[in-house]
Amino acid sequence: MTLAKGLDKRTIAEFVGNQDTLEYLAEHGVDYAQGFHVGRAIPLQAANAQHTADLAIAPPHPS
């Protein structure tokens, strides 16, 4: 994590399985996390449907 930050890179933690791990990573500057604790894997069609729904309710970006 220190090396990535020193190179001005964002960090992603994978396989985050519980809240304690997520909190530890946040305390140590990890930018993003993925894993069963954050969200279970879903089929592609379900992910596409969720993304489309999110776009429909997202507020417009300022110009």
Q: For the segment 2-48, what is each residue's pLDDT rounded down to a tens digit?
A: 888 899 999 999 999 999 999 999 999 999 999 989 888 889 998 88
pLDDT of residue 23: 95
Residue 13: beta bridge partners?
A: 33
What is the residue extent of each domain of the chain?
2-57
pLDDT of residue 53: 84
CA angle centred on 33, ends 12 and 51, rounded to 5°? 110
Residue 22, judged by CB atoms within 10 A of its CB (0-12, 13-18, 19+), counts as middle
Assessment of whether the complete model's pTM goes beyond 0.75: no
